[in-house]
Amino acid sequence: MIEIKPIQGHQIEEAKQVIITTCLEIFTGMVSEEQLKLYDPMLDLVMVQSHYFDNNGMFLVLLDRYRVVGTGAIRRFNEEIGELKRMWFLKEYRGRGLGKEMAQMLLDFARSAAYKKIRLDTFSQEKQSQAIEFYKRLGFYCIERYNDSLCTVFMEKEL
């Protein structure tokens, strides 16, 4: 049975592994697991309560029979803007409408949290073309850089 629910403390390590597995697959040969952990120690997951839930945000996991197979989150960027983060799904769960379902839940949460816009950043068109097209179908459009991350694509959606 597949469910989308707020992350619980005991699911944090599994969520991290989904993110690592997916990143290594997308960036095959470009980065090792050790390099990835240095670049992104995932401290937001370690402190998920304060980073997301206590700060007008939400972190969801996609569960298949209680196993974490996907992640997605909204975090506060400022009072009027939320940021879509950590949208990662294991390969076998992509293309089944589950990402759209999770994104819709997160956007609904963002509306209820009174955000007026949602932003996101992602990596290059070459490596993340499917993700970029997915976000465009959700109504996101490209904008200028809004942060100092290593990402190269920046998008926004009005709520």
Tokens 């950590």, located at residue: 86
The predicted-structure confidence for 116-155, as pLDDT tens digits, reads as follows: 999 999 987 677 888 999 999 999 999 999 999 888 999 9
What global pTM score does this model have? 0.93
Q: What would be the CATH architecture of the domain defined by 2-158?
A: 3-Layer(aba) Sandwich (3.40)
pLDDT (tens digit per residue) in 98-110: 999 999 999 999 9
Domain boundaries, the chain: 2-158
The DSSP bridge pattern shows strands 117-122 and 81-89 to be parallel
pLDDT digits 0-9 by tens, 46-84: 999 999 999 999 999 999 999 999 999 999 999 999 999
